[in-house]
Amino acid sequence: MVIRENGQYKMWYRGWSPYNDFDAFGYATSSDGINWTKDTLNNPVMVPSSDAWQAYGFTSPHVLPFEGGYKMWYTGWTANWSSSNIGYATSDDGITWTPDTVNNPVLTKGSTGQWDDRHLEFNQVLFIDNVYHMWYTGARSGESQSQTGWATSADGIHWNKHNDTTTTSTLYLDSDPVLGRGSTGQWDEDRLSQGTVMLEDDTLRMWYSGFRQPYAENLQSIGHATAPYEGITGLFEFGDVVVPGDYVLRQNYPNPFNPVTKIEFTLPKSEYVELKVYNILGKEVATLVSKNLNHGNHIYQFDGSMLASGIYYYKIEVGDPARRTGQFQDVKKMILIK
Total-model pTM: 0.68
Assess contact for 189 and 212: CB atoms under 8 A: yes
**Model confidence over 201-248: pLDDT tens digits?**
778 889 988 887 766 555 678 888 888 775 443 343 322 333 335 788
Q: What pLDDT does 242 receive?
A: 32
**CA dist., res. 119 & res. 142, Å (int):** 11
Residues of the chain whose pLDDT is less than 50?
Answer: 231-244
**Phi and psi angles of residue 200, each rounded to the nearest 5 degrees, phi first:** -125, 115
pLDDT, residue 217, reads 57
Q: Which own/partner contact pairs does 315-320 have at CB distance under 8 Å and 24+ positions apart?
A: 315/275, 315/276, 315/277, 315/278, 316/249, 316/265, 316/273, 316/274, 316/275, 317/273, 317/274, 318/247, 318/267, 318/271, 318/272, 318/273, 318/274, 319/271, 319/272, 320/272
Structural domains in the chain plus CATH codes: 2-228 (2.115.10.20), 248-336 (2.60.40.2550)
Q: What is the pLDDT of residue 239?
A: 28
Closest CA relative to residue 116, chosen from 150, 141, 89, 80: 141
